[in-house]
Chains A and B, each alone.
Chain A
Amino acid sequence: AQTVTQSQPEMSVQEAETVTLSCTYDTSENNYYLFWYKQPPSRQMILVIRQEAYKQQNATENRFSVNFQKAAKSFSLKISDSQLGDTAMYFCAFMKHVAGNQFYFGTGTSLTVIP
């Protein structure tokens, strides 16, 4: 079975500062994908960033980047130059390469950006 752990239920960061959200996972799979999704208050979830496990290079999307450590089964999200619009719940998700491709989500980290 796959499990995803987010050990930081809540975090806050000053506007324009950098924050890192942690995620660890457990799996016996070798090929898989990892995602960070953002769920703003009362709005639907949207994809922030995605990482293929077979790629050693860490994914980046503008102000968002990940630190993927496959051996340690760690997948942290770094948000640079935090903006008020980054305030949201952030979910780390694991997807196997095969079968149904359903997500296994962590419990989420609630991030507040302080003006």
Chain B
Amino acid sequence: DTGVSQNPRHKITKRGQNVTFRCDPISEHNRLYWYRQTLGQGPEFLTYFQNEAQLEKSRLLSDRFSAERPKGSFSTLEIQRTEQGDSAMYLCASSLYLSGGGEQFFGPGTRLTVL
């Protein structure tokens, strides 16, 4: 296991289409996070899972966004009816939560462009 992987790395879509991204975390990590990063900004938290349970969602995560982590391993982030404002880098991170704050390991991101 060499780290967090994300697919696809780039996605270009037309407004109104649905897109789905995948994140494969480090295998023993029980927490998985999704962040969104727009140009000139730091990443912003979207949601996180502990094992298969989605424990928190940001207000940034509109009802067009849905995330799953069905077996507590990989996760998918789906955006329905994409809008131009959804164009961003979507980052996935994973961590082994035992207690307190641990390092999050980031994937390379999926860059979404909505035309």
Beyond A105-B43, A107-B41, A108-B42, whether A100 also contacts B56 by CB under 8 A is yes
Return the chain A residue nearest B37 by Cβ: A105
Which chain B residues in 10-69 approach chain A with CB under 8 Å? 31, 33, 35, 40-45, 48, 55-56
A contact set with B: CB distance below 8 Å: 4, 32-33, 35, 37, 43-47, 50, 52, 91, 93, 95-97, 99-108
CB-based contact B106/A102 at 8 Å: no
CB-based contact B91/A45 at 8 Å: yes
Measured as residues with beta carbon below 8 angstroms from the partner, the interface class of chain B is: 20 to 34
CB-based contact B56/A99 at 8 Å: yes
CB-based contact A97/B100 at 8 Å: yes
In the docked arrangement, what's the CA distance between A99 and B45, Å? 13
A16 to chain B, nearest CB (A): 29
Residues of B within 8 A of A4 (CB): 42
CB-based contact B43/A91 at 8 Å: yes
CB-based contact A33/B101 at 8 Å: yes
Contact residues of B: prevailing secondary structure:
loop
B contact set with A: CB distance below 8 Å: 3-4, 31, 33, 35, 40-45, 48, 55-56, 91, 95, 97, 100-109
In the docked arrangement, what's the CA distance between A47 and B106, Å? 9
CB-based contact A44/B45 at 8 Å: no
> B108 is contacted by which of A44, A97, A108 (Cβ under 8 Å)?
A44
CB-based contact A102/B91 at 8 Å: no
In the docked arrangement, what's the CA distance between A107 and B42, Å? 4
A85 to chain B, nearest CB (A): 18
CB-based contact B97/A106 at 8 Å: no
Residues of A within 8 A of B31 (CB): 101
Residues of B within 8 A of A96 (CB): 101
CB-based contact B44/A105 at 8 Å: yes
